[in-house]
Amino acid sequence: MLFRKRMARLEARARQAAFTGYVGVDRRAPVSEAAQQLMRKAFPDHWSFLLGEIALYSFIVLVVTGSYLTLFFDPSMSEGAYHGSYVPLQGLQVTKAYESTLHISFDVRGGLLIRQMHHWAALVFVAAIGVHMLRVFFTGAFRRPRELNWMAGVTLFLLALLEGFCGYSLPDDLLSGTGLRTANTIVLSIPIVGTYLSYFLWGGTFPGHVLIPRLYIVHVLFVPGLLIALISAHLVLVVYLKHTQWSAPGKTNRNVVGQPMFPQFTAKSSGLCLMVFGVITALSGVAQINPVWAYGPYRADQSSTGSQPDWYVGFLEGALRLMPRWENTVAGHTIMWNVFLPAVALPALLFVVLYLYPYFEKWVTGDLMEHHLCDRPRDRPTRTGLGVAAIVFYAVLLMAGGNDVIAAGFRISVEALTWIFRVAVIAGPALAFMTTKRVCLALQAHDRRVLEEGEETGNVSQNVNGGISDSHRPIDAKRRYRLLVRDIPHPLEHPGERAPRRRRLRARLSNWYYRDRVDMPATTEERLQISGKTLDPVATGEQE
């Protein structure tokens, strides 16, 4: 009894101390107001919005496992004889970086599991960012007012690629060393400054003695700091600008319908976080990845047979393998176009296009409205076709990066396969664009037929004359709403041949983007309602 009273007094004191501390902080900062607004934030419950959360939670796995690995990893490139637990390599000259990686794998309790969790989490992190960006692109969630958030996402993707490459290169094994040799060649291919930049990064001629320590600092300090800052800014913008949502009854361009932050969304998100941790841990326990002991230490005069980079930079490897031999000598300088164009110019062009696309589409459309409703990909056939064409282009380059492995597996000539990929990298995206656009228009035509005739019941009847017909029933109000409420711009009118060339180009691009469409059958009243649902919230003066 006395023990219970003492515990009750301690609990009361702790509760009073917590309350006093909270009041003290709240008087000096808007804690209550911010917490109230955050707890009331509505989150759409569609599964596609969870892709960004998977990226966030895999990044947390990366931070946790990476912090553990830094306690044991030595980034030094000084060499010495190996006397560790892995017998086949004993007595071999290895760097401290490679030796510490073996030490983590075989001598540190749980070290191999943590290493594999770190590597798998990196792959999941980059994949989740990529798929999340595809979701944003195909649904038009990059449009005003979210252009800045799109650019932050593209920067996160770029930093994730850099972080993955730095971490991939740290063990100093034969596979990662082969990748660094390729990276050195890419740096050297930059006209005029390539040689000087290579000497600066590697501290002399390849392989040098300072690159891995420098990559280590970039990997554990600079890039993670930038990632944390950008992720925080990205989440703040998501909260401030609010989520996009799919059209449905009650959901308009001027509101956000969903579940509150607490307790519904918090519980679901916490469960997803635990699932991501569990899946990555299970995957790391049963699927071996990056066995550096099998590759051996890096030697500048050796290369790993069948070496392939991680998938997210595999397209660069493929571009290098497909590019024909093309070099020029200008004023005593050799310009290696066969390396510079696929490995420097191509990724630079890719990210420039990603950064500028929201503004390009806004310019073509002439649209200054805010958009909070997601587009169905079929309703924007040109944009969807461009996205699928980009995916096919990437996939062809990724497969070309393993042309030697594919040729060996299927017993065909590497040269013949290379030419097949050279044709496919040009014809494939064009064919994918045309096919995707026609499929989108066919799906729009199907939606129109469903609105006009209703959905099929599956019942077939035969009249007295032998004619066979199927029966239809009207679609429900929710589906009709989803099919009708869409915001597709009309092409800009041609300004005339005397107009400035820029305006004529804009009109032609707008016509190319939006001339192909299937209008949905709707009454005058329904069209007025659709206009109201998709009205610009800024123009109406409504703010949430």
User: pLDDT, tens digit, for every residue of 261-288?
Assistant: 778 888 888 999 999 999 999 999 999 9
Q: CA–CA separation, 182 vs 196, rounded Å?
A: 17
In this prediction, residues 464-486 reach a mean pLDDT of: 83
Residue 541: pLDDT above 70?
no
How high is the pLDDT of residue 526? 74
pLDDT band at 436 (very low <50, low <70, confident <90, very high): very high
| 51-70 and 266-286 helices, crossing angle to 10° | 50
Q: Which of 310, 313, 291, 273 is nearest to 116 (CA)?
A: 291
Predicted TM-score (pTM) of this structure: 0.90
The mean pLDDT value for 207-226 works out to: 93
Give the pLDDT mean for 127-134.
96
State residue 86's pLDDT score. 92
Residue 540: how many other CB atoms lie within 10 Å:
11
- pLDDT band for 22, please (50, 70, 90 cuts): low
Q: Is the pLDDT of residue 449 over 80?
A: yes
In angstroms, rounded to a whole number, what is the distance separating the alpha carbons of residues 319 and 341? 9
183 has a pLDDT exceeding 50: yes
Cα–Cα dist 125/231, whole Å:
13
pLDDT at 543: 46
Whether 105 has a pLDDT exceeding 90, the answer reads yes
Q: pLDDT, tens digit, for every residue of 26-69?
A: 666 666 666 666 667 777 778 888 899 999 999 999 999 999 99
Task: Go through 244-268 and write b for each residue having 16 or more CB atoms within 10 A of its CB, e for each that does not.
Answer: bbbbbeebbbbebbbbebeeebeee
Band of residue 459 on the pLDDT scale cut at 50, 70, 90 = confident
The average pLDDT across 357-385 equals 92
Q: Would you state the pLDDT for residue 544?
A: 44
pLDDT beyond 50 at 435: yes
* Cα 118 from Cα 292, distance rounded (Å): 14
pLDDT given at position 368 = 84
pLDDT in tens, 497-535: 888 999 999 999 999 999 999 988 887 777 777 777 777
Average pLDDT value over all residues in the chain: 88
Average pLDDT over residues 374-393: 96
Which pLDDT score, from 0 to 100, does residue 426 have?
96
What is d(CA 134, CA 129) in angstroms, rounded to the nearest whole number? 9
Separation of alpha carbons 537 and 254, rounded Å: 5
Q: How far apart are the first and last CA of the chain?
A: 54
Within its chain, how far is the Cα of 54 from the centroid?
11
Asked whether 306 and 404 are in contact (CB, 8 A), the reply is yes
